[in-house]
Structure 1
Amino acid sequence: MTFLKKMAVTVAIAASILTTTAAQAKDFRIGLITPPNHIWTLTAQEFGKELEEKSSGKHKLAVFPAQQLGNEAQMMQQLQTGALDMGFLTLAEISNRVPEFGAFYAPFLVDNIDQAAKLLKSEEATKLLGELPAKAGVVGVGYAMAGMRQVLSRSAVKGPEDIKGKKIRITPFEPIKDFYNEIGAAPTPLPLPAVYDALANGQVDALDMDFDSILVLKFYERADNLMISNHMMFPMIGVVSGKVWAQLSDEDKQLIQTLMKAHLDKVIEKFAAQEKDQEKQLRDLKLTVTEADRAVFNDVVSKWEAMWKEKSKGALDTLKQAAEKAKAQ
Structure 2
Amino acid sequence: MRLNKLSLFIAAASVAGMGLTSTAQAETVIRIAYGNQPGEPVDVAVNQWAEWVSEASNGELDLRPFPASQLGSETEVMEQARFGSAIIAITAYSNFLDSVPDLAVLDAPYLGEDFESKLKVFDSEWFADQLEQVHSSGYHIVIPNTVYGVRHLLSRNPVSHPDDLNGVRIRVQNSQMYVEAIRAMGATPTPMSLGDVYPALAQGMVDGVENPAAVLHGGKFHEVVKHLNLTAHMHTVAPFVTGLAFWEQLSEEHQQILTETGQQMAEYLGELVAEESEEARERLRSEGVEVHEVDTQPFRERAAEQIPTAFPQWSDGLYETVYEIING
Q: How does 1:92-103 map to 2 (within 5 A)?
A: 92-103=94-105
Distance 2:320 2:185 in 1: 23
Q: Does the Cα contact within 8 Å between 2:139 and 2:241 map onto a contact in 1?
A: no
Query: Are 1:189 and 2:222 an aligned pair?
Result: no
- For 2:14, the equivalent position in structure 1 comes to none
- For 1:323, the equivalent position in structure 2 comes to 326
Count of residue pairs brought into register by the alignment: 306
- Counterparts in 2 of 1:318 and 1:177: CA distance versus 1, 3 Å: same
1:54 to 56, 69, 78: 56
Query: Are 1:176 and 2:178 an aligned pair?
Result: yes
Letter of the 1:268 counterpart: G
Aligned-pair CA distance for 1:315:
3.8
Aligned-pair CA distance for 1:125:
6.9
- For 1:89, the equivalent position in structure 2 comes to 91
Distance 1:45 1:79 in 2: 20
Aligned-pair CA distance for 1:249:
1.0
Q: Does the Cα contact within 8 Å between 1:152 and 1:225 map onto a contact in 2?
A: yes
Q: Does the Cα contact within 8 Å between 1:238 and 1:264 map onto a contact in 2?
A: no
- Counterparts in 2 of 1:93 and 1:224: CA distance versus 1, 3 Å: same
- For 1:7, the equivalent position in structure 2 comes to none
- Counterparts in 2 of 1:112 and 1:279: CA distance versus 1, 3 Å: farther
Q: Where does the alignment leave 5 or more consecutive residues of structure 2 unmatched?
A: 1-20
- Counterparts in 2 of 1:60 and 1:288: CA distance versus 1, 3 Å: same
Distance 2:75 2:108 in 1: 22
Q: TM-score when scaled to structure 2?
A: 0.82
Structure showing the higher helix proportion among its residues? 1
Query: Are 1:20 and 2:23 an aligned pair?
Result: yes
- CA-based RMSD: 2.7
Q: TM-score when scaled to structure 1?
A: 0.81
Distance 1:285 1:222 in 2: 12
Query: Are 1:247 and 2:230 an aligned pair?
Result: no
- For 2:8, the equivalent position in structure 1 comes to none
Aligned-pair CA distance for 1:301:
1.8
Aligned-pair CA distance for 1:184:
5.4
Q: Where does the alignment leave 5 or more consecutive residues of structure 1 unmatched?
A: 1-17
- For 1:13, the equivalent position in structure 2 comes to none
Distance 2:300 2:143 in 1: 34
The SS at the match of 2:137 is: helix
Distance 2:137 2:193 in 1: 26
Over alpha carbons, which structure has the higher Rg? 1
Letter of the 1:237 counterpart: P
Letter of the 2:319 counterpart: L
The one-character-per-residue Cα deviations of 1:9-43 (angstroms, maximum 9, x if unpaired) are xxxxxxxxx95235x53111111111222211221
